[in-house]
Structure 1
Amino acid sequence: MKQEKITKFIKPEEANRKWYIVDAKDQVLGRLAAKIARIIRGKHKAVFTPNMDTGDYVIVINADKVRVTGKRESLKTYFWHTMYPGGVKIKSFSELMATKPEFVIEHAVKGMLPKNRLGRKLIKKLKVYAGESHPHAAQKPEVLSL
């Protein structure tokens, strides 16, 4: 009798989820976001399943100290529309870093996740804070050096 090869699919409740903390100080934005997206998606695990949430939680601190290379500090722009006539809003990277530095990392990571209901579920596993402190000490996050 022939041996059948069976792919093991785990259930979402069987996924062993951990909490990681990442310090964004002096990290390049795109490289940091790519590594965070990989952890949130669960691609670093042997039990990765593309259609399931098997990833871990990531806490990012010092989001206000993230950097970009070259002239992106002045040239990179963020665009959105309010859905009202003439409602185009454009802000530069440096303007957003002054007001909402968390949004910059969230936006970069969100762009690297799937564009479907799984992606909308996964982005909730990212917690970004501008300073050193965070309210997730009870989860006992492990320090992750990227």
Structure 2
Amino acid sequence: MKTTKVAKKEEVTRDWFLVDADNKVLGRMATEIANILRGKKKPIYTPSVDTGDFVVVVNAEKIQLTGNKLADKMYYSHSGFPGGIKSIAAGKLIEKKPEDLIRKAVKGMLPKNKLARHMLKKLKVYAGPAHPHEAQQPKTLEI
């Protein structure tokens, strides 16, 4: 009788991938990154175990949004106090914190559970072309 192999946390080997966000569309890139963080491209993929790899994204400030989303797409946050809602347009978010734009897009594509927080910790986003993860020898990933 054949049985399905279930991955264990100790058996998972993690690779490092480097993604250049220069002139990439945000949503299309975020879906690929989310799949890598979850480990869906691995044969050992198990939904209840974090089997994903590390992803380093560089040039976040050069990300592209289609249509009129730079002006129209809004990101909201709330302080928890009455009247404490804040909103920021995607265009202003790219100017202030381009890393957050990619992080929020990928976070929305991950499952809504405790495992997603562990997956999101494996995402490293940098505004410019430099990153401190050269020692891990990340493989360049074309998206």
Question: Number of residue pairs matched?
Answer: 143
TM-score under structure 1 length normalisation: 0.96
Once the two structures are TM-superposed, the CA of residue 8 in structure 1 deviates from its matched residue by 0.7
1:1-146 paired onto structure 2 within 5 Å: 4-146=1-143
Question: Using the alignment, how far apart are the partners of 1:62 and 1:37 within structure 2?
Answer: 18
Question: Using the alignment, how far apart are the partners of 2:10 and 2:37 within structure 1?
Answer: 16
Secondary structure, aligned partner of 1:145: coil
Question: Using the alignment, how far apart are the partners of 1:91 and 1:11 within structure 2?
Answer: 41
Paired letter, 1:72:
K
Regions of 4+ moved over 2 Å: none
Question: Using the alignment, how far apart are the partners of 2:82 and 2:45 within structure 1?
Answer: 44
Once the two structures are TM-superposed, the CA of residue 84 in structure 1 deviates from its matched residue by 1.8
Which segment drifts farther, 63-72 or 6-15? 6-15
Once the two structures are TM-superposed, the CA of residue 85 in structure 1 deviates from its matched residue by 2.0
Bigger Rg, structure 1 or 2: 1
RMSD: 0.7
TM-score under structure 2 length normalisation: 0.98
Question: Using the alignment, how far apart are the partners of 1:106 and 1:141 within structure 2?
Answer: 19
Question: Using the alignment, how far apart are the partners of 1:13 and 1:143 within structure 2?
Answer: 26
Residue segments in structure 2 that go unaligned for 5+ positions in a row: none
Question: Using the alignment, how far apart are the partners of 2:38 and 2:24 within structure 1?
Answer: 20
Once the two structures are TM-superposed, the CA of residue 5 in structure 1 deviates from its matched residue by 2.0
Secondary structure, aligned partner of 1:74: helix
Question: Using the alignment, how far apart are the partners of 2:10 and 2:131 within structure 1?
Answer: 26
